[in-house]
Amino acid sequence: MQAPTMPSRDALQRLLDGLQTFIREHLALARVEMKQDLRAMGRDLAVGAAGMPALGAGYLLLMVAMSFLLSSWLPYWAAFGIVALANLVTGGTLTWSGTRRVMRDRVDLPRTAEELRRDRRWLSSMKQGNRPAENALPQPVAIADRGGPSDAASR
């Protein structure tokens, strides 16, 4: 068997360099999309959590008031037990429903998925022996980090 010639070594090196660049760009795109999603999720969570202390205190006082109202007709232990049981059932149902919804939702990376579909088409055309034109190479999607000053006006 003949040793690889210098041009084939160069071609192999260029192929490996191209593959490394390809993988790096896809990982960078996925990283940017995940960062954007997590940043938006964190902002939404912070806004939602801001009112939780007041909501918790108000809810607790409402439940105590309902228990005292029920204690006009029932013993104290029964009134507080009924209110506690109603809260446990409601909380358990909401937790179960929320858990199912979270499990059903998937993180979506639309630009990364589009890039992978485009690359798959390009690779299949290469596999079939069709040498695509230079402009038929998959073009990377522009990676723009949301959060710059130019995006602040569009929100």
Q: Is this structure's pTM higher than 0.75? A: no
pLDDT of residue 153: 43
Delimit the domains of the chain by residue range: 10-129
DSSP string, 104-150: H-----HHHHHHHHHHHHHHHHHHTT----GGGSPPPPP---TTSHH
pLDDT of residue 14: 85
Largest CA distance in the chain: 99
pLDDT of residue 136: 52
Whether residue 133 is predicted with pLDDT greater than 60 in this model: the reply is: no
